[in-house]
Amino acid sequence: MKVMVIAPKNKTLFNFRGDLIKEVISRGHDVVAIGPNKDFIDDVLALGVKFIEIPLNKDNTSIFGDIYYYKELKKVIKVQKPDLVFSYTIKPVVYGSLAAYRAGVKKIYPMVTGLGRVYASKSLKAKVLRMITGALYKQAFKGCNKVIFQNNDDLKQFVELRYLPEEKAVRVNGSGVNMERFNVNVLPDKSIFLMIARVIKEKGVFEFAEAARMVKKEHPDARFILLGGFDKSIGAIKPEELQPYILDGSIEFPGETKDVVPYLEQARVFVLPTYYREGLPRTILEAMAMARPIITTDWPGCRDAVTDGVNGLLVHPKDSSSLVDKMKFIIENPSNVKNMSENSLRLCKEKYDVNIVNKHMLEIMEIK
């Protein structure tokens, strides 16, 4: 069987789908990967795939750019003749599914990895974009065998909006996490709070920085590390906006790194105060695999992985004072932290191990 994987960014092919792709290849199938450029090409090719570049600007709303992307996908699919097409994130899902169906592919399995800012914002522009996006999703899903979701909120919303019938929707536990790479180590005693995310507003970067500034007034030895790269999308934060929090010592900002494991090893708690419409944040799963308690928002995707008081604490979205309260609780209640740490690891082993998730994915797509 020839399997085609359509990705929005090359980095996601080996970071988020690498284990799945390797498993497909190990079962004797060929994999063709479609990416938008030649970034990280050596890492992508190391997976054992054939790589084809089709330019994509995932954040713009250019109809001409989208039409070009659709036509190029259809052209490549007709030449490559894959037996199955798997895609993820909005433009690969919509245009990849439409192109595959029109090109005669019989097995089409898109994965909705969160709804993004279009479904989180209440602005007039977002409402208009939701109408357009909804119509595109509805049309794209008609030719799909199953549509894979990563959390209950997204699945329920798409069914209620009648983008697809309930029997065509199926949920998996995120992308899974490689528990050999992200393996448990000793929980540090020092109060070090780690956030890993793109530096955009909707990830809760300012809420994290503000909370850090307030907590340090009472607990000056606590450390707050923000790990991630600056972005060029709509909600991007400029370096100068973050600088005051760095200069006054509220947060530490090492920037972006290819390997987050050393930072997770030194952290006592993982924090993600996002109000972006996530699927199921991979960073949360990676932290759980390393037995870290989680502080995150009561928000789609996040609340699927974290039960308040069990393996972490939930906070209100866009609420730095709520975040302050939970951070202080963590500092002042070490026995609770240990219990939440153990529960994170247990839950990850039971539900989020990449081998369990990939087995489910392959069953859904009927890849033997």
Query: Please, what sign has the CA dihedral across residues 114, 228, 232, 88?
Result: negative
pLDDT score, position 59:
65
The answer to whether 285 and 313 are in contact (CB under 8 A) is no
d(CA 130, CA 118): 6
CA distances for 154 relative to 78, 160, 193, 310, 347, angstroms: 31, 10, 29, 23, 22
CA distances for 179 relative to 84, 209, 279, 287, angstroms: 28, 30, 20, 10
Beta bridge partners of 109: 86
Domains and CATH numbers, the chain: 2-176+354-364 (3.40.50.2000), 192-352 (3.40.50.2000)
pLDDT score, position 245:
98
Element at 132 (helix H, strand E): helix 124-141
CA 7, distance to chain mean position in Å, is 13
What is the residue whose two structure tokens read 């994987």? 5
Three-class DSSP category at 84? strand
d(CA 135, CA 62): 16
Three-class DSSP category at 112? strand
Tokens at 325, concatenated: 């309260």
pLDDT score, position 61:
67
pLDDT score, position 60:
67
pLDDT score, position 233:
76
pLDDT score, position 179:
95
The answer to whether 306 and 160 are in contact (CB under 8 A) is no
CA neighbor of 329 nearest in space, from 318, 342, 319, 340: 340
pLDDT score, position 122:
76
Residues of the chain with pLDDT under 50: none
Element at 4 (helix H, strand E): strand 2-6
User: pTM here?
Assistant: 0.91
